[in-house]
Structure 1
Amino acid sequence: MRASVSTSQDLGMPAIYLHTLAELLHTLGVDERDLILRVGLDPTRLNSTDRRVSQAQASEFVTRAIIESGEPGLGILLARELKLPLHGALGTAVMSSRTLAEALELMTRYLTLRAPHLHVQKRSAGNSVWYSVSCGIELGPLQGFVLDAVLFGCVSMGAQLTGTTVPGIRVLRQSPEPNHFHRFRRLINVPVEFGATEDALVIPASQLTLPVRFSNDQLAMTSREQCETALRQLKEDTGFASRVRRVIETSHPFPPKLARVASTLFVSERTLKRRLQEEGANFQALVDKVRLERARELLASTAMNLSQIADTLGYADAANFTRAFKRWTGLSPSHFRTRELSTAETA
């Protein structure tokens, strides 16, 4: 029996995908900012290819998005918006590959970075190659959305890489054809077979040698190294403290209350404290680490005054923020900002 979203290991979902979905919702007439806030997320923290959102919050956001947009084909529409740079280091590595085969091998190896619970298995039969996609957890009603976004996103990826829809490519889906799908057949522009034995992308073997138009050997090497580093880091960040930190990093309002974080992670407050203690961590220390990182970011890259930064970080006033920042760094916020600006100017 597969685990559910609430009980599985939570490696998080890239925040940029929720940001992209929010932009799509806006075009459909949905108040995307209000929806993001109701899920407890900070809209200003989602536009990042590296930051991750807890699986529970991502699932809630997508579920509400489908309901409030009234669009069951939201995953298909999202697939068309997923341009390669949105996939971070993996997108760069894929774009800089020499051939379509190399690009798909990278997608197979590093998909965990972008969709942690999905797995791809490759096999050859006759003149075609199958890339079968399976999910390690029970996503319930989200299953169709996720598979739509991934499989049709791969079709879009092939077109982005080669400049045209890959000839002979087709998509297999295990589910029966949904009632809404007829509206998207022309949009997808490739054969889709429902009621299949697997969810898969099928490509003629002869097309895998198609050249990638953005090929760059030097960039390919560095971006693949980045993927390896990110994959290793993700595997290390499997502890409960990492899950708590991901919720803290993207929460609105900030800082989140312990009760809110516990509820998001489907545990009691007592259990949250105990599990953090078992890993040598505590909730307030995690909040302070995130506060420090955000304070440095705001001081170095914005013109916000100290009162505005203090308010953003949940302090009563600039004086409290200044005392805390000096305790963490040994510098006043103003001194830190001056130093950072001076370093940037001489770089």
Structure 2
Amino acid sequence: MRTVEAPQIRTWDFPRGIASIAVMAAFAAEHGVPADRVLAGSGLAPAALSEPDRQVPAATELVVVRTLVRELAHVPALGVEVGRRYRLSTFGIFGFACVTSPTVREAISLALRYYQLGYGFCIPIVETGDDGMLARVRLDAAPADVARFLVERDIVAMHRVMVDLLGHELAIGRIEFDFPAGDSAERLHEIFGVRPEFGRTQTVFTLDPASLAETLPQANAQTWSLCVAQCADLVQRRTARTGITAQVRALILPGGDTAGIPTPPTFEVVARELGTSPRTLRRRLAEAGTGFRALVDEVRCTLAEEMLTGTPLSVDDIALRLGYAEATPFIHAFKRWNGTTPSAYRRERAH
């Protein structure tokens, strides 16, 4: 029997810790680019890199990624080399939960369940069966200018973490990329132990059944259970809207039923309602690991899901009620939020 698993969150646009940016800043420093330069435009000061509990929006990490790619364009296989710097310790309690898992298979399943505790922009869809595991790597809606960097960074980081889990090299069955071969081809061959295929229709890699079943050297059932509980608590705390985010979300949410949802207020109107300046509100939301656009999308996603499952409204009607001029941009947005179309979401919930 084959099973398919995917992250519970189907978008890369989630708040994440500062550790990933710290990894990239350290790499940049080794190549002569100081922290203040690689953080330019992100709203972060170098001191923020040493704040372990600091949360940032995904858009902030993308600003740093773009700067890194621009500043270090001369470094061969840049995404690969940066990906090699991610270790289990980079992921905190999430990484510790993986390392104490019973097997590689359990560690992968846990990583998918708590994917939003990581730093990925690629969304892995994992299919397992008697012949092993096949992971399809999606990069939906990520900026094209840094897509290759993100794919190579994330896949190499996944591999690096699995090697840390096992304590020895991990044999990849095959690996394919949906972009042409470049300056990273030989480095990827060296790391994975198999020659990658480029220019394919999708990005995939496979593991054999023996690798999946391998017991992890630091497996510990009691510690694993405690770590998993802490991961669940961390996800709940990160996604709970309290403080300034709760206030902004309350102003975005419409009153009454969903029959005639008004257009969400502008950022400036929300700032005025809260008695603060737009600049201060932007900073406070960034400190909370989110942004105004992300909160608007969150509200729209919640309302869309409610209307799809609780009303007979058509997709066109729902799009209009959410402030879209037509259904197409709403469908694209919904796929970004949930990894599926509104119609498919409604069918799945009805079933």
The alignment status of 1:106 with 2:110, answered yes or no, reads yes
| Aligned-partner Cα distance in 2 for 1:194–1:148 | 12
2:85 is aligned with 1:90 = no
Aligned counterparts of 1:153 and 1:116: Cα–Cα separation in 2: 9
Pair 1:23–1:286, CA change in 2 (3 A): closer
Corresponding letter in the other structure for 2:55 = R
**In structure 1, what is the Cα distance between the partners aligned to 2:189 and 2:198?**
12
In 2, the alpha carbon distance for the partners of 1:34 and 1:155 equals: 29
1:172 is matched with 176
Structure 1 residues 126 and 61: alpha-carbon distance in aligned structure 2, compared to 1, 3 A threshold = same
- Retained in 1: the 8 A contact 2:121–2:154? no
Distance 1:289 1:147 in 2: 28
Task: Quote the Cα distance in structure 2 between the aligned partners of 1:134 and 1:274.
Answer: 37
**Cα distance in 2 for residues equivalent to 1:157 and 1:67:** 26
Contact 1:120 1:132 in 2 (8 A): yes
**Alignment correspondent of 1:74:** 78
Please report how far the alpha carbon of residue 83 of structure 1 lies from its aligned counterpart in structure 2 after TM superposition: 0.9
Q: 2:142 maps to what in 1?
A: 138
Instruction: Give the Cα separation in 1 of the matches to 2:157 and 2:86.
Output: 7
Tell me which residue corresponds to 1:186.
Answer: 190
- Of 231-240 and 214-223, more deviation after overlay is shown by 231-240
Among 38, 56, 61, the alignment partner of 1:58 is: 61
Q: Is the contact made by 2:121 and 2:150 (CA closer than 8 Å) also made in structure 1?
A: no
1:12 aligns with 2:7: no
Unaligned runs of 5+ in 2: 1-10, 249-264, 288-351
Letter in 2 for 1:63: R
Q: What is the percentage of aligned positions where both structures have the same residue?
A: 20
- Shift in alpha-carbon separation, 1:147–1:19, aligned structure 2, 3 A: same
Residues 290 and 180 from structure 1, CA distance in 2 versus in 1: closer, same or farther, beyond 3 angstroms?
closer
Q: Relative to structure 1, is the Cα distance of residues 182 and 41 closer, same or farther in structure 2, using a 3 angstrom cutoff?
A: same
CA displacement, residues 48-95 of structure 1 (integer Å, 9 cap, x when unaligned): 454222323221211111111123622211211111021122111101
Q: What is the TM-score of this pair, normalised by structure 1?
A: 0.64
CA contact (8 A) 1:112 1:118 kept: no
Cα separation, 2, equivalents of 1:230 and 1:198: 33
Aligned to 1:122: 126
Which residue identity lines up with residue 66 of structure 2 in the other structure? T
Judged with a 3 Å threshold, the aligned counterparts in structure 2 of structure 1 residues 216 and 156 are, in CA distance, closer, same or farther, namely same
Partners of 2:242 and 2:122 in 1: how far apart?
16
Per-residue CA shift, 1:150-181, capped at 9, x if unaligned? 21112112211112112344432111212443
C-alpha separation in 2, matches of 1:164 and 1:32: 33
Give the structure-2-normalised TM-score. Answer: 0.64
- Cα-to-partner distance string for 1:88-147 (whole Å, 9 max, x where unaligned): 221111011111111111111111222475432221366231122223433222221221
> What amino acid does structure 2 have at the position aligned with 1:16?
A
Q: Is the 8 A contact 1:10 1:243 kept in 2?
A: no
Which one of the candidate residues 17, 23, 26 is aligned to 1:23? 26
Aligned residues: 259
| Amino acid paired to 2:18 | A
- Cα pair distance change 1:136/1:112, threshold 3 Å: farther
Residue 45 (structure 1) aligned to one of 28, 45, 48: 48
Asked if structure 1 preserves the Cα contact closer than 8 Å seen for 2:13 and 2:58, the reply is: yes
CA distance in structure 2 between the partners assigned to 1:211 and 1:243 by the alignment: 47
- Deviation of residue 218 (structure 1)? 2.1
- Note the C-alpha offset of 1:243: 12
Aligned ranges 1:257-296 → 2 under 5 Å: 271-276=266-271, 282=276
Contact 2:28/2:35, CA 8 A, preserved across alignment: yes
1:299-322 deviations in Å (ceiling 9; x for gaps): xxxxxxxxxxxxxxxxxxxxxxxx
Retained in 2: the 8 A contact 1:174–1:195?
yes
Q: 1:35 to 1:158 in 2, by over 3 A?
A: closer
Classify the secondary structure of the residue corresponding to 1:132.
strand
Q: In the alignment, does 2:206 pair up with 1:206?
A: no
Structure 1 unaligned blocks of 5 or more: 1-7, 245-269, 292-347
- Opposite residue 108 of structure 1, the aligned amino acid is L
Alignment RMSD (CA, Å): 3.4
Q: Relative to 1, partners in 2 of residues 1:39 and 1:121: Cα closer, same or farther, differing over 3 Å?
A: closer
SS in structure 1 of the partner of residue 266 of structure 2: helix
CA 1:222–1:145: 2 relative to 1, 3 Å: same
Distance 2:12 2:170 in 1: 36
Question: Is the Cα–Cα contact under 8 Å of residues 273 and 282 in structure 1 kept in the other structure?
Answer: no
Q: Is 2:238 the counterpart of 1:234?
A: yes
Greater Cα shift, 13-22 or 33-42: 33-42
